[in-house]
Amino acid sequence: MSQPAIAQKISPTSLRTQARVIDAVVDVVAQCGISGTTFANVSATAGVSQGALVFHFKTKEGLLTETLSRMLQEYEQAWSAAFALPDPLSRILGLVQADFKPSICNRKKLALWFSFWGEAGAQPLYKKICVEAEDARHQAMLSTCRELVQTTGGPDPVLLTNSIDAFTDGLWLQMHIQSQPITRTEALEWALAHLRLLIPHHAEHI
């Protein structure tokens, strides 16, 4: 009988190196875009050798895919915490607020999101990762809006969900491309004001 395979453990040093490299990718993509991101400029930014990048990520595609996956995991952790709140209105507010957390919504991260979204049509793997992550977030908002409407009344939950998410996407775009972008605080205030328009009977609690 063969012995079971022993799982390969990643050393703390390797984990730190990988984290430093991912941070460097965020910086480089924000400055150069995906097409301008190379092992050379990532290694220089991270302060590691190109050989280390090859060891940990194999290819540029592997490096970018891992970066996208980790950013989406970070985003999921942010909105999942909001989804654990006790009542539907609090969860909707938490989900909206999660989109404007400093760790999620900042200049470099927005550049990263839009770079990957721009590549998703031509890169099936990017598209698959993004679609799966976005669908999980969308379903969380949709189930919460349905619960709110069932409990207290309100607009069609599908329309409510799409309106909330489309407005947030628009705010992210404004923050990313305007010559004088709105601040994260302003964007959140606008998102909450929009929510008060969508569900006016809850406005005093928003």
> Where are the chain's structural domains?
10-58, 68-205
Tens of pLDDT, residues 163-185: 999 999 999 999 988 767 789 99
> What's the average model confidence in pLDDT over 4-9?
44
pLDDT at 192: 98
Residue 159 to residue 136: CA distance in whole angstroms: 17
pLDDT at 93: 96
Residue 142: count of CB within 10 angstroms of its CB? 18
* Topology of the domain comprising 68-205: Tetracycline Repressor; domain 2 (1.10.357)
Kindly list the distances between the CA atom of residue 132 and the CA atoms of 6, 15, 50, 100, 205, in Å, as whole numbers in the listed order.
31, 25, 31, 21, 32
CB 182 within 8 A of CB 175: yes
Residue 10 has pLDDT above 90, yes or no: no
Give the percent of the chain with pLDDT over 90: 60
Residue 111 to residue 105: CA distance in whole angstroms: 10
CB 142 within 8 A of CB 91: no
pLDDT at 202: 95
Q: Of how many residues is the chain composed?
A: 206
Kindly list the distances between the CA atom of residue 173 and the CA atoms of 114, 131, 151, 182, 203, in Å, as whole numbers in the listed order.
8, 18, 33, 10, 26
CB 34 within 8 A of CB 119: yes
Residue 206 has pLDDT above 80, yes or no: yes
Assigned token pair, 150: 């069932």
Tens of pLDDT, residues 75-105: 999 999 988 888 999 999 999 999 999 999 9
- At CA 77, angle to CA 11 and CA 87, rounded to 5? 150
Per CATH, is 10-58 categorized as 1.25.40.20?
no
> What's the average model confidence in pLDDT over 133-149?
94
Assigned token pair, 3: 């012995």
Backbone angles phi, psi at 47, to 5 degrees: 75, 35
pLDDT at 3: 44
Residue 16 has pLDDT above 50, yes or no: yes
* Residue 5's pLDDT band (cuts 50, 70, 90): very low
Assigned token pair, 78: 């942010």
> What's the average model confidence in pLDDT over 24-37?
92
> What's the average model confidence in pLDDT over 131-146?
93
Q: What is the average pLDDT score of the chain? A: 88
Single-letter residue type at 125? L
> What's the average model confidence in pLDDT over 122-145?
89
Backbone angles phi, psi at 25, to 5 degrees: -60, -45
Q: pTM score, two decimals?
A: 0.84
